[in-house]
Amino acid sequence: MHLPSRLRKLCLLTSATAALSVPAFSATLVNDTFTDTDRLSSPTSTNTQWVANGTLTASETGMLWNTTSASNRMVLGHFPTVAISDVETTFSLSFTTGANGATASNLRIALVDGTANGFRTTDGFSSTDASYVGDAGYAIFSGSSNVGGGNTTNLSLRTYQRNTTTSNNLLGTSGEWGDNAATTTAMATSSGATGYFEANTAYNLSIAMSLDAGTLTINTTLSGGNFSGLSYSTIDAVSPTTNFNSIALRLGGGAQFADINLTSFTVTSASAIPEPSAFASLAGLGVLGLALARRRRAA
């Protein structure tokens, strides 16, 4: 069927408008807000399984982590496996610091695939554990031991990947972490940012990942309090880790903060779906074309 010139132009214009009407859409893969006060049940999309080598108390307002009694405090959260693709996936952890402790130290946060030896399912573990052997993934380290304890030095962050997967030490030392050339050098370091962790302040750590032709892009942002410009990116183009099911947080000292309250952990995946108006436009074109075809046949 040959459409008149004006109708062809109308069809092209309507199609273009429909294409422009496709918005960003966020699918929630994990959404743990701790309101169910359940931390030890098996991982689901709404319930991350949390264990700690310190005191961890679940409540409707968050997961309160007492960090004052010893050094090398760590919390582990296990969630259903998330696979990274060309669609950006964002891991987001929100937390609030308690009162300042007496001494500053380091902060380390890792996202790993803990499939090899399974999950740690009970509290009371040490910085070394057999379940860490085989874990692969990436970590965000504070650039120095200047977290908590009333420190007012600007914070920098560094991104590493886990190179020594045969170790039973996940975040207790930095020697198992480095770049994709298997050295202990960081993959990337933030620069130009200002700010430091304050007492009784809410923060959010966001780690966004996407995979394109075998190259993994990692965008890291820490916001809240007096932080400004603490956002940076890196890539891993050498056999990157693309599945994740565990998050680990470690404080190097026993007196950085009185406690830390974890308020939410979410994983979202960006995608695109057509607006209803786009479907309506396409449907309208179909109806118009059908009506014209019938008219031409009748003539």
Per DSSP, the residues of 249-276 read EEESSSSSBSEEEEEEEEEEEEEE---H
**CA separation for the pair 75, 192 (Å, rounded):** 30
The residues, ordered by sequence, that sit 6+ positions from 299 with a Cβ below 8 Å of its Cβ are none
Specify the 3-state DSSP secondary structure of 9: helix
Q: Is the pLDDT of residue 22 over 90?
A: no
> Do the Cβ atoms of 118 and 51 come closer than 8 Å?
no
Q: What is the pLDDT of residue 211?
A: 98
The residues, ordered by sequence, that sit 6+ positions from 82 with a Cβ below 8 Å of its Cβ are 29, 30, 89, 91, 243, 244, 245, 267
Q: Is the pLDDT of residue 11 over 50?
A: no
- Residue 70: HSE in the Cβ half-sphere, 13 Å Cα cutoff: 11
The residues, ordered by sequence, that sit 6+ positions from 166 with a Cβ below 8 Å of its Cβ are 133, 134
User: pLDDT tens digit string along 83-113?
Assistant: 999 999 999 999 999 999 999 999 999 999 9
Q: Is the pLDDT of residue 41 over 80?
A: yes
Least confident of 10-19, 21-30, 266-275: 10-19
* CA-only gyration radius of the chain, Å: 24
The residues, ordered by sequence, that sit 6+ positions from 291 with a Cβ below 8 Å of its Cβ are none
User: pLDDT tens digit string along 240-257?
Assistant: 999 999 999 999 877 899
**CA separation for the pair 171, 72 (Å, rounded):** 9
Q: Is the pLDDT of residue 146 over 70?
A: yes
Give me the CATH topology for the region 24-272. Answer: Jelly Rolls (2.60.120)
Q: What is the mean pLDDT of residues 22-51?
A: 86
Q: Per-domain residue ranges for the chain?
A: 1-23+276-299, 24-272
